[in-house]
């Protein structure tokens, strides 16, 4: 006779939970963490083939001639538009430039002495025109003196505001400026009146008058050169953007071609990257590139190669792949388009992955 089977002894829930924690939960946790690491690695920490840098347009505003910056219209990091006035450069030394005017005047006097003109109407006309050109030369010299006096008055006004000079010294500069300005205005009126009288009377068309007119044309051309050298130069912004650097300040002297202001565009035109040596692949124009930003929220965009450099060049350490040191290295430059979904700033670093097997448009 078989005894009746005993009923199973019930296990408490805490025992089942302990068995699950010991035998199942570690394996589930490991699989979940592994999948999370793989997902995060592929999204945020994918190893890039190379590092790229967003580039924008930059332009230097330089003076086409030597001079002194009388006015600087911008400050550091100021937004400007193409065509805005950046600075005004005056002649470095108006007294030196006025020697061109004196040379033209001396040549006219030599023409008068060598001509041997008789006291006829055409000769009197030539003499009158010579006097008019002499007055124009004096007017050009006065213009340079007026410019210099105005600069000295502005400097004295600033020194007076800073209490570095006395009121009497400022009054002396102000008086000098007013005297030169009055003299320039009066002589300008005389020159204008003589020019009007010259237009009312024309000399006879003779061989002698042709010689005189040719000599006067040469002298007048030299006057135009001197006036152009004495005129201040207005420097305009070549592109729209933001002032990045100020190499010179108001009152500083500049040589021909010296950069005064550097303007950087805030729009990214392309991305540049360098393929390290040895070249593991041959990039071609039109091939796809994956661009990953380095912002707080990693954004991925699709781009293409637009240009490939003709030679291997040196590039700076920020464009090296992470973990490969900081020394310079040679590489092949490539230009890459800017993905529309990436809001990049000029100079920002991005990670690039080239897909040389898939051409663009596939």
Q: Are strands 329-336 and 313-315 parallel, antiparallel or unpaired?
A: antiparallel
Q: What does the pLDDT average to over 235-251? A: 90
pLDDT-based confidence at 244, cuts 50/70/90?
Answer: very high
Mean local confidence (pLDDT), 210-233: 69
- Which one has a higher pLDDT value, 47 or 343? 343
Tell if the pTM clears 0.75, that is, is over it: no
Q: How confident is the model at residue 190 (pLDDT cuts 50, 70, 90)?
A: confident
Mean pLDDT to the nearest integer, 210-222:
66
Instruction: Quick: pLDDT tens for 28-85.
Output: 899 999 998 887 776 655 455 788 899 988 999 998 888 888 888 899 999 999 999 9
Residues 122 and 251 grouped into a single domain: no
- Write the DSSP string, 257-300: T-EEEEEEEEEEEEEEEEEESS--S---TTEEEEEEE-SSS--E
Residue 320 has pLDDT above 60, yes or no: no
Within-domain flag for 196? yes
Interaxial angle between packed helices 99-115 and 207-230, expressed in degrees from 0 to 180 and rounded to the nearest 10: 170
The verdict on residue 1 lying in a domain is: no
In a domain, 9, yes or no: no
Co-location of 251 and 302 in the same domain: no
How far from 110 is each of 106, 131, 358, CA to CA, in Å? Answer: 6, 13, 80
Classify residue 125: in a domain, yes or no.
yes
* Average pLDDT of the residues in 331-348: 89
pLDDT, residue 323, reads: 47
- Cα torsion 25, 29, 31, 35 to 10°: value is 160
Per-residue confidence (pLDDT) for residue 241, from 0 to 100: 92
Given a cut of 70, is residue 92 above it in pLDDT?
no
Q: Which pLDDT band, with edges at 50, 70 and 90, does 327 fall under?
A: low
CATH number at residue 62: 2.40.50.100
**pLDDT of 269 above 80:** yes
Percent of the chain with pLDDT over 70: 70
Q: Does the residue 17 lie in any domain? A: no
Looking at 217, 245, 262, the residue that finishes a domain is 262
Q: Domain for residue 146, yes or no?
A: yes
The range of the structural domain enclosing residue 252 comes to 58-91+234-262
Could you tell me if residue 25 is inside a domain? Answer: no
Tell whether 200 is covered by a domain: yes
Same domain, 227 and 318: no
């Amino acid at each position: 006779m078989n005894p009746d089977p005993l009923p199973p002894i019930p296990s408490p829930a805490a025992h089942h939970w302990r068995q699950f924690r010991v035998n199942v939960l570690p394996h589930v946790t490991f699989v979940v963490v592994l999948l999370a690491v793989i997902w995060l690695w592929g999204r945020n920490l994918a190893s890039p083939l190379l590092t790229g840098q967003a580039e924008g347009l930059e332009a230097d505003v330089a003076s086409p001639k030597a001079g002194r910056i009388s006015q600087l219209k911008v400050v550091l990091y100021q937004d400007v538009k193409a065509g805005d006035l950046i600075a005004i450069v005056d002649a470095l030394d108006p007294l030196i430039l006025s020697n061109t005017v004196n040379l033209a005047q001396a040549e006219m006097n030599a023409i008068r002495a060598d001509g041997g003109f008789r006291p006829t109407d055409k000769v009197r006309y030539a003499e009158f025109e010579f006097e008019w050109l002499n007055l124009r030369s004096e007017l050009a010299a006065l213009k340079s003196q007026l410019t210099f006096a105005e600069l000295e008055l502005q400097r004295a006004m600033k020194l007076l505001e800073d209490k570095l000079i006395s009121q009497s010294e400022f009054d002396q500069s102000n008086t000098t400026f007013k005297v030169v300005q009055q003299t320039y205005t009066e002589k300008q009126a005389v020159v204008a009146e003589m020019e009007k009288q010259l237009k009312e009377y024309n000399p006879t068309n003779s061989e002698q008058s042709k010689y005189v007119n040719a000599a006067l044309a040469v002298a007048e051309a030299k006057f135009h050169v001197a006036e152009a050298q004495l005129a201040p130069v207005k420097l305009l912004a070549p592109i729209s953007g933001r002032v990045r650097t100020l190499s010179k300040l108001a009152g500083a002297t500049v040589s021909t071609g010296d950069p005064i202001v550097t303007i950087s565009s805030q729009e990214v035109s392309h991305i540049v990257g360098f393929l390290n040596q040895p070249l593991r692949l041959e990039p071609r124009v039109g091939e796809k590139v994956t661009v990953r930003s380095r912002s707080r929220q990693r954004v991925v965009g699709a781009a293409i190669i637009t240009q490939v450099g003709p030679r291997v060049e040196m590039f700076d350490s920020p464009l090296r792949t992470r973990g490969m040191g900081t020394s310079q290295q040679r590489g092949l430059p490539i230009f890459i388009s800017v993905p529309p979904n990436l809001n990049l700033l000029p100079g920002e670093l991005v990670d690039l992955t080239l897909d040389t097997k898939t051409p663009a448009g596939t």
